[in-house]
Structure 1
Amino acid sequence: MQHTEIKLNSKEIFKGNVFRVTMDQVELENGMTSFREVVHHNGGACILPLTDDDKVLMVRQYRYALKEELWELPAGKLEKDEDPFEAAKRELEEECGVTAERFINLGVLYPTVGYDSEKIYIWAARGLKPTSQHLDDGEFLDVAALPFDDVLQMVMTDEIRDSKTVTAMLKYAWLRQRGEG
C-alpha cells in the first residue's frame, strides 16, 4: 500500500528571505484531517573538493542558529529555479577560489523530512584549478585543505556534524572503497 496525504488547503504564515512557511490542512489516508506546518526552501548545492594529493577543501564558519563554528564542505542556497549543478560550481569558486575539471554526482540529501521541503544536491570535484575566492557580503569563512582520512575520522567522531558534509564524505568513501572515486 502506498501512503499519501492530500492537501485540502494552505495558508502562508511566514515569508522570509530564505524560506516561507505554510499551514496546510491535509486529508489522511483514513479519511481524517490534520494540519502540517511546512517550511518551503529552494534547496541547496554542496561540493566535496578533492585535491590531487587527496585533501579535502573544507570551510570553517560560524553558524548563528547553532551558536557554533563548524567545519563544512562548500555549499550554498539555490536561487529560485537555479540549476543545482551550476550552483555547486559557483559555490566552489566563491568559497574556495577554485574550479574543477571533473565532477562526480553524489546524489541528493533530504536534511529534514518531517517539515521541510529542502533538498541538497551533492557533487565531488576533482582536477582543481585555482581562481579567486569571492565571498558574499556578510559571509566570513576560512578554507583549509585537510587529508581525506582525517576529515572522515572527524565525521566518525562527531567533530563534524553537518549533515551535507557527513553524507558527502560517507558516500565518497564508499565510492573510493569500490575503486570508483
Structure 2
Amino acid sequence: MHHPEENPWKITSAKNVYDNPWINVTEYQVINPSGNPGIYGKVQFKNIAIGILPLDDELNTYLVGQFRFPLNQYSWEMPEGGGPEGTDPLESAKRELLEETGLKAAQWTEIQRMHLSNSVSDELSIIYLARELTQFEAEPEDTEQLTIHKIPFAEMYQMVCNGQITDSMTVAAVLKVQLLLLENRL
C-alpha cells in the first residue's frame, strides 16, 4: 500500500524549456498517481520571495503601490522583493525594506513561511514583521515605480478583508499580524 506522504509521481524524462536569471521552466514527462502517462510543467524560482510588514509603535504600517507586469494591473502590497537562494533572507528583507520605503528596523521577527503557487512552482516566501522603525531615504530599483502610503494597520486589515489587497504574501502577513494583535502576542 502507498503511504500518503510518499511521492506517487514517476518522472520518465525532463526537458529545460526556459531559463533566465530569475526562473527556470522544466517540462516533465511523468507517470501520474493513477499510473497514466502525462506532462507536468514546473517553474523553479532562483530567489526566495521576501515580504516585510513594517509596524510602528502607533500601529501604522506602510503600503507599497506599483503596477505589476504579470497581472497587468496596479497592486497595493507590503514591501516585497527577493533574495538569492543561499543568502541570508533577513539581510534581503532589510535591503528590500530600505529600498522600497526608506525604513530601517531595529527589531525583526519571522512570522510566516509559505509556498506561493505549489501547483506549478517551488517558490518559497518568508515574511517578516519589522518593528522599531527609523525613516531614511528610499532607494528603489530602476524597475520600480513605487507609491508609498503610511496608514493605520487597521485600515490595511480592512483593505485585505474588502478585497482591495490581493497579493498573497500581504494577505497572509496582515491576517497573521491581526491574529497576533488579538492574542496580545505583539
TM range (shorter): over 0.9
Uncovered stretches (5+) of structure 2, i.e. residues with no partner: none
Residue-pair matches, total:
181
| Residue of 23, 27, 32 corresponding to 2:27 | 23
The amino acid across from 1:26 in the alignment is V
Structure 1 residues without counterparts, runs of 5 or longer: none
Contact 1:8 1:27 in 2 (8 A): yes
Question: Which of 81, 93, 101 does residue 86 from structure 2 map onto?
Answer: 81
Q: Distance in 1 between matches of 2:156 and 2:50?
A: 20
Residue type matched to 1:173 in 2? Q
Report the TM-score when normalising by structure 2: 0.90
Q: Tell me the equivalent position of 1:63.
A: 68
Paired AA for residue 13 in structure 1: V
Q: How does 1:1-181 map to 2 (within 5 A)?
A: 1-2=3-4, 3-4=6-7, 5-42=9-46, 43-181=48-186
C-alpha contact (below 8 Å) 1:109/1:167 kept by paired residues? no
Cα distance per residue 1:81-127 (max 9 Å; x no partner):
22222111110111111111111211212111111111111011100
Deviation at 1:31, TM superposition (A): 4.2
In 1: Cα distance, 2:30 partner to 2:182 partner: 44
Sequence identity, in percent?
Answer: 30
CA separation of 1:69 and 1:30: change in aligned 2, threshold 3 A? closer
C-alpha distance in 1 between matches for 2:64 and 2:19: 29
Amino acid at match of 2:59: D
TM-score (ref. length: structure 1) = 0.93
* Alpha-carbon separation, structure 1, partners of 2:27 and 2:85: 21
